[in-house]
Structure 1
Amino acid sequence: MNDPESTPDLILFNKPFRVMSQFTASADKETLANYINIPAIYPAGRLDYDSEGLMVLTGIGSLQHSISHPQHKLAKTYWAQVEGEVDEHALSRLRNGVELNDGPTAPAEAQRITAPDSLWPRQPPVRYRAAIPTSWIALTITEGRNRQIRRMTAAVGFPTLRLIRVAIGPWQLGTLQPGEYQPVMLTAAQRTSLLPQGKRAENRTTPRRRTGRPTGKTPAHRPGRPSRRR
C-alpha cells in the first residue's frame, strides 16, 4: 500500500462520455482503469455511463462516505442541454420539486444559462434536429437518485440531451478535460467539515485487485487519446 502521507486525500476526475464509473472490467466498455492508475482509491459516488464531468475518488473511507451518502446532502451542480427552449414555468417547477415515480424531488436551484463556449466536443455528438432547438440549464441538487436530472427535466417537458456534472460540494470541474485528473489535499476547513473530529481517517480503504490497463498518462495527468467505443 502507498504511504498514506504521500497519497492525495482525493482525486478530481473528468469522466468522459460512455465510461463506466468503476474500476472493474465491464465487457467491452471503458472504465476508470483506462484513465487512472493510482492504488487504493475508489469513487465517492457514481456518474451515469452516458453522463460526463466531475467525479471525486478517494482512499479515505470516511471521506468517501461523507461525499457520497445522501444524508450529508452535498450539493452537486450539473449543466444540462435539453430539447426545446426551456421556459420560466419549467424552471419554477424544478426549483419547487417535481413528482417522479419514486416520489417528489427536493427543491433545486435551476436557471437557464447560455451554451458553454469552453466545452469539449462530445463524441458522438448530440443529435441535431433543425426543427427542434435546444437550450442549456444549470441544476443544483442535494439528492442522488438514479438518473435524477434526466428524469426531472423530462418531467417538466424538456428531455436532457447532454449532461455534464461541474461541481460536487466545494470541488469544481474547472479546466480538466475528459480523461484528466487532479490530486487534491483537503484544506483545514474541509477536513473539519468532512472527516470525523476533523482528523484524517485512521485507515484507507482496503486495496482490491483491479482489472483493465490504464491508457498512457503523462506526468501532467493528461492521457493520450483513448479509444472510443460506440
Structure 2
Amino acid sequence: MTLLAFNKPFNCLSQFTPEPDSPAATLADWIDFPGVYPAGRLDRDSEGLLLLTDDGRLQARLADPKHKLAKVYLAQVEGEIDAAALAALRAGVTLKDGPTRSAGAERVEEPDWLWPRNPPVRYRKSVPTSWVQLTLREGRNRQVRRMTAHVGFPTLRLVRVAVGPYRLDDLRPGEWRVIDG
C-alpha cells in the first residue's frame, strides 16, 4: 500500500487527465508515481492537502463521508468574520442541498508559514479580509465556499491543511511525499 501527501497548487485539477480546452494543470504535471489515484478532491481553485493511494479500500475510507474523517481548512474570507457568523457555521447552515453538519469554526490569524498564492487574491483597499479555520466531517461540492458565503463572508482563498491524521506540514505547493503507513 502506498499513500502520498500532495500540496495541490491553485489552478490544478484533482485528476491525472486534462479536461478539453482547459488550461488547468493536472496531477500528472506534478506527480510521477505510477498507480496512485486521489482519495477525494479539491476544486481547481482550492489549494492544499490531497491524498493519493494505490489501495482502493483506503481510497474509499479516506474519501467517503460516512467515515467522518475530519477535514481541516483555512479560508481567507471577504470582510471581518464575526461571532454570529462563526456560531452559525458551528451549528450548521442550510444550503440549497440541505442542512450541513455542525462544523468546527474559529477565527485565526493568517498563518505565517502560508505561501503566496499565484495569482494573488484580489486586493481591495476598502474591503478587509480575515481568516477562519473550519473543520468538516462531510464533503459536499464546494461546501466551505458555500457555507462562508451563506453567512455573509465569501471565501477568497481556501487551503486544506489536514485530512484525519494526515497533515500538510511543510510541503510547498507542487511537492509530495510518501507517508509511511
User: In which range does the TM-score fall when normalised by the shorter chain?
Assistant: over 0.9
SS of the equivalent of 1:161 reads strand
Matched, 1:20 2:10: no
Compute the RMSD of aligned alpha carbons. Answer: 0.8
What is the rounded CA distance, in whole Å, between the counterparts of 2:169 and 2:5 in structure 1? 10
Deviation at 1:184? 0.9
Deviation at 1:117? 1.2
Structure with the larger strand share: 2
Deviation at 1:9? 2.3
What is the rounded CA distance, in whole Å, between the counterparts of 1:73 and 1:182 in structure 2? 24
Q: Percent of pairs identical after alignment?
A: 60
Contact 2:86 2:105 (8 Å CA) reproduced? yes
Matched, 1:69 2:64: yes
Letter in structure 2 aligned against 1:22: Q
Alignment of 1:206-225 (within 5 A): none
Q: Deviations over 1:69-106 (max 9, x none)?
A: 11111110000000000001000000000010000100
Alignment-derived partner of residue 107 in structure 1? 102
Which structure has the larger Rg over C-alpha atoms? Answer: 1
Matched, 1:11 2:4: yes
Deviation at 1:136? 0.2
Deviation at 1:141? 0.2
Letter in structure 2 aligned against 1:65: A
Matched, 1:124 2:130: no
Letter in structure 2 aligned against 1:87: D
What is the rounded CA distance, in whole Å, between the counterparts of 1:181 and 1:140 in structure 2? 23
Q: Deviations over 1:118-163 (max 9, x none)?
A: 1111111001111110000000000100000000000000000000
5+ residue gaps, structure 1: 1-7, 187-230
Contact 2:13 2:44 (8 Å CA) reproduced? yes
SS of the equivalent of 2:126 reads coil
Deviation at 1:185? 2.0
Alignment-derived partner of residue 166 in structure 1? 161
What is the rounded CA distance, in whole Å, between the counterparts of 1:49 and 1:88 in structure 2? 30
Alignment of 1:20-169 (within 5 A): 20-27=13-20, 28-169=23-164
Contact 2:2 2:36 (8 Å CA) reproduced? no
Deviation at 1:26? 2.1
Letter in structure 2 aligned against 1:174: D
Contact 2:115 2:172 (8 Å CA) reproduced? yes
Contact 2:38 2:52 (8 Å CA) reproduced? yes
What is the rounded CA distance, in whole Å, between the counterparts of 1:119 and 1:107 in structure 2? 27
Alignment-derived partner of residue 181 in structure 1? 176
